[in-house]
Amino acid sequence: MMMNAAGQSTNAIDAKLVNTLMKAVMEVCGTMAGTQVTLKEVVPSLDYKPTGDISGVIGISGDYGEGMLTLSFTEPMAALLVGRLLGMPPEEICSEDMCDGIGELVNIVSGRAKTSLSEDSGTLYRLSLPSIIKGPGHEITGRPKNCPFLFLVFEAEGHSFVLQVTFRYF
Amino acid sequence: MTYILTVDDSRIMRKIMSGAIEALGFQVLEAGDGVECLAQVEAHIEEVCLVLMDWNMPNMDGLTALKRLKASEMTNTIPVMMVTTEGERGKMVEAIRAGAANYLAKPFAEEDLMTKMVECLQDRLNLV
């Protein structure tokens, strides 16, 4: 395993970061959307190619590392979660609200990761503004070369959604 | 009419906070960034009793808007509560030092938002 000067692995994603993200997803969905979410599996394979209808993407960077977080949902799952956030039935969620809601979800999850990374390193990490990708069955493949990655697959009420974590320490 | 101003670049967050504000019996004003926040406060200066402020927003961030509000004699008595994804202790200290009356990190439960709003409004509610 390769390590940087701070003793952090440069070819694997830190388990604490993964744990923070997993808890953040569960807490955001549970606390704000009242939706119980469970982690179904963790997939560290390039052969795994999850697709979604709507994805929220945020970049994270600091003095000691950089990465990207992508939350991908099917449209029914996104409508369910955003509907719960607003206290509305999923069928009443318009496209604009769905995009805004998924952007806010990925923003809050990334905020948790940023806090954890900043407090661990004693330096401030920064987030990009969230970007939203919308289109039936799209695949997110914009992963920097040689950058460690993981897919966290979550399940809620018969639907699955995926958090793709790409992060490397310098 | 007494307003609570919610400042967030996410329309969804403004909608969520509007529900809690109305549940407390206040009217809602909205702004999408710090610039709009200052304009709303100026336009309703006698009626705004609390500002709920996000931190990271385009055009003008929440900390800058907070400092502007606290720098003016016209607006420095309006309580400002930060509602933000910025969860680091250093950020909280920075906001409190700049004059924030309270701080709530996202994600939050609606009850927590309402409790913190009531804490900020305690002086006003005692007077009513």
- Minimal-distance CA residue of chain A relative to B112: A31
Q: Per-residue b/e over A130-163, b at no fewer than 16 CB within 10 Å?
A: beebeeeeeebeeeeeeebbbbbbbebeebbbbb
CATH number at residue B79: 3.40.50.2300
Residue A120 confidence (pLDDT)? 80
Q: Which residues pair with B4 in a beta bridge?
A: B28, B50
* Interchain proximity B108–A118, CB inside 8 Å: no
* Interchain proximity A110–B85, CB inside 8 Å: yes
Cβ contacts (< 8 Å) between B88 and chain A: which residues? 114-115, 118-119, 124
Counting every residue written for chain B, the total comes to 128
Residue A125 confidence (pLDDT)? 86
Q: Is residue A144 part of a domain?
A: yes
pLDDT, tens digit (0-9, with 9 covering 90-100), for A90-134 = 999 999 999 999 999 999 999 988 888 888 878 888 888 889 999
Residue A15 confidence (pLDDT)? 84
Find the helix or strand (DSSP H, E) in which B110 lies: helix B110-120
Instruction: Name which of B56, B83, B85, B93 to mutate to probe chain A: the one with the most chain A Cβ atoms within 10 A of its Cβ.
Output: B85
Range of the domain at A92: 15-169
CA distance A13 to B5: 41
CA distance B69 to B54: 14
Cβ contacts (< 8 Å) between A129 and chain B: which residues? 56, 58
Residue B17 confidence (pLDDT)? 96
Cβ contacts (< 8 Å) between A97 and chain B: which residues? 11-12
Q: Is residue A2 part of a domain?
A: no
Instruction: Name which of A84, A107, A110, A129 to mutate to probe chain B: the one with the most chain B Cβ atoms within 10 A of its Cβ.
Output: A107
Number of structural domains in chain A: 1
CA distance B5 to B48: 7
In Å, how far from its chain's centre is CA A71? 4
Between B19, B86, B109, which is nearest A111 by CB? B86
Sign of the alpha-carbon torsion through A73, A128, B66, A115: positive
Residue B16 confidence (pLDDT)? 94
Sheet holding B27-31, edge to edge: B27-31, B3-7, B48-53, B80-84, B102-105
Number of structural domains in chain B: 1
Residue A168 confidence (pLDDT)? 84
Spatial contact of A126 and A60, defined as CB atoms under 8 Å apart:
yes
Q: Is residue A1 part of a domain?
A: no
Q: Which residue has the tokens 């949902």?
A: A73
| CA B39 vs CA A65, B31, B75: distances in Å | 39, 9, 12
Residue A20 confidence (pLDDT)? 87
CATH number at residue A127: 3.40.1550.10
Instruction: Name which of A81, A115, A131 to mutate to probe chain B: the one with the most chain B Cβ atoms within 10 A of its Cβ.
Output: A115
Low-confidence ranges of chain B (pLDDT < 70): 1, 123-128
Find the helix or strand (DSSP H, E) in which B4 lies: strand B3-7
Per-residue pLDDT of chain A (170 residues; tens, 9 = 90+): 555 555 555 567 778 888 889 988 998 899 999 999 999 999 987 778 888 999 999 999 988 888 899 999 999 999 999 999 999 999 999 999 999 999 999 999 999 888 888 888 788 888 888 899 999 999 877 666 678 889 999 999 999 999 999 888 88
Residue B61 confidence (pLDDT)? 96
Residue B1 confidence (pLDDT)? 67
The angle that helices B11-23 and A95-121 make with each other, rounded to 10 degrees, is 90
